[in-house]
Structure 1
Amino acid sequence: MPRTVNPHDFSDKRKEVSDKEYARTIPCNQLSISAPFHWLSLGLHDFVRMPLISVFYGLCFMVAAIGIVLLVQWQGTHLVVLPSLIVYMLIGPFLALGLYDASWEREKGHKASLLHSMKAIGRNSTSQWAFAVLLAVCMIFWMRIAALLHALYPSVQGAPLADFLPFLVIGSLVGFVLAAVVFSISAFSIPLMMERRVDVMTAVFSSFNAVKSNIPAMIVWALLICGGILVGFATYGIGMLFTMPILGYATWHGYHETIKKKHTP
């Protein structure tokens, strides 16, 4: 069983816990429901202060989003959406690493550089790749569940709404549960792995605990993220140029405000 770190471990010099301990849960702070809006304001400030880095990563997210939109239009079927999103979820965390690194450098009083942010991919790469694969497995699992739920879809064209209800209700419930789980384990995992170089299970347990302990604030944060992504795709990817860098910077500030720091003498 994973060990939950006692909060006193962070207040007592003699009980300081090493980040190298495997599969533990790092404690979190309690957040107000308005905290995500503060993170966004800090993210917007970073976006303005680091235009070159913001535009570079914004373009990367934009190109990926445009590629998904064009692929769906070219294929003329929704069946390519989920496979495309799996690729997007593999690429996304690594692109976000550069944004986290840039915000981290500014916090330390350093001048953030594009080259330095790109090198962030090499920090704790084993855990980061393991987490990316975990996200891909979750998406593949959702694809299999979706294929099974398709059996509930009415086989007759023009069927009454009542015939669609089992498919819509069960599909929505399953999708909501899986989306909530993925959001919970990924909310703060990547920045935690980058800064503290913890293992993937420690990052997942700590992120899940932080979301579970701050449900109202995390609901607001999830809605803001969904809104930013929807704006990006609704504008055929162009909106990603702005929304994704701001959300990336905001995630870093949210991580620092949520996950308790190590004790420093």
Structure 2
Amino acid sequence: MPRTMNPSDMHDKKKEVPNSQYARTIPCNQLSVSAPFHWLSLGLHDLIRMPIISAFYGLCFMAAAISIVLLIQWQGTHLVVMPALVVYMLIGPFLALGLYDASWEREQGKDASLWHSMKAIGRNSTSQWAFVVLLTVAMIFWMRIAALLHVFYPSVQGAPLGDFLPFLVIGTIVGAVIAAIIFSISAFSIPLMMEKNVDMMSAVFTSFNAVKSNIPAMIVWAAIISGGILIGFATYGVGMLVTMPILGYGTWHAYHATIKREEDI
């Protein structure tokens, strides 16, 4: 004889949240403002322990950066800077996947290999490509906004500095807001999709919530990432050999320190 379901049964079922639930937000930990420096030190440690893998991905990042610098010099105009950076930001997450995988392997006590790290690109590829499409749309939107802001650019050559202030102030504010949004949705999305095989929207919501919940630490981490990238470009890409592997490994450790694991929820 079938058992009659009572209200408490319904309550228990509501508490069950399957791992495959779409667009869920995984809880995050609270971080200290000094946490990013610890992630940076862990990234440096991984760089030293995995020189071959680090050199391979460092060279890939360096080649991409040198290509952008040469393109800008060849065109002789600042108008190609934004499209070139868009391409770099779309390539970067896929290269970083290999670094995440290497740190993940070491974390589990395994010997990380270059071949295994390269295969990480194909892990949860559907969600990762969906995320690339999202980033592409966001970057195109950013480029269109940047083009519209040129209405504030002085039309007279040799205009005084004061005439540039509206363009600089408004451009900086708008750029900072868009950059903060893109950083928030991408800070932990790629490693989350790789490790937990979650859908793209779950990764985006989880990353955004984690950044929003730890703004001071995330500001420091964003500044460190920006500094590493600037050093790379300032050295015509050579600095990418060191900075990008460290930042890639550091991002993996940042992800594990920030996003709660299933057993902790």
**TM-score (normalised: structure 2):** 0.93
Q: In 1, Cα distance between the equivalents of 2:264 and 2:119?
A: 26
1:59: which partner in 2? Answer: 59
| Cα distance in 2, alignment partners of residues 32 and 124 from structure 1 | 31
Per-residue Cα deviation, 1:67-90 (whole angstroms, up to 9, x for no partner): 000000001011111111121112
Matches for 1:224-263 after TM superposition, within 5 Å? 224-263=224-263
- Alignment pair present for 1:97 and 2:97: yes
Instruction: State the secondary structure of the residue aligned to 2:263.
Output: coil
| Alpha carbons of structure 1 residues 201 and 159: separation in structure 2 relative to 1, 3 Å | same
Q: CA RMSD in A?
A: 1.5
- My pick for the range that moved more, 253-262 or 136-145, is 136-145
* Partner AA of 2:116 in structure 1: H
Task: Specify the SS of the correspondent of 1:218.
Answer: helix
Which residue is equivalent to 2:211?
A: 211
Shift of 1:17: 3.2
CA distance in structure 2 between the aligned counterparts of 1:55 and 1:84, rounded to whole angstroms: 23
Q: Which runs of 5+ in 2 are unaligned?
A: 1-11
Structure-2 change in CA distance of 1:16 and 1:257 (3 Å): farther
Match runs of 1:92-241 below 5 Å = 92-241=92-241
Could you tell me which residue of structure 2 aligns to residue 9 of structure 1?
A: none
What is the aligned partner in structure 2 of residue 70 from structure 1? 70
> Pairwise mapping of residues 15-54 of structure 1 onto structure 2 (< 5 A)?
15=15, 17-54=17-54
Q: In structure 1, how many angstroms separate the alpha carbons of the residues matched to 2:164 and 2:78?
A: 18
Contact 1:16 1:263 in 2 (8 A): no
Identity %, equivalent residues: 80
Q: In structure 2, what is the Cα distance between the partners aligned to 1:264 and 1:200?
A: 22
Q: Partners of 1:232 and 1:16 in 2: how far apart?
A: 47
Structure 1 CA distance for aligned equivalents of residues 48 and 193 of structure 2 = 26
Which one is further off, 18-27 or 110-119?
18-27
Q: How many aligned positions are there?
A: 253
Opposite residue 93 of structure 1, the aligned amino acid is P
Question: What amino acid maps onto 2:192 in structure 1?
Answer: L
Query: Matched residues in 2 for 1:17 and 1:39: separation?
Result: 31
Say if 1:100 and 1:252, in contact at 8 Å, map to a contact too. Answer: yes
The 8 Å contact of residues 89 and 136 in structure 1, kept in 2 or not, is answered as no
Structure number with greater Rg is: 2
Partner Cα separation in structure 1 for residue 168 and residue 81 of structure 2: 18
State the 1:204 CA deviation.
0.5
Match of 1:7 in 2: none
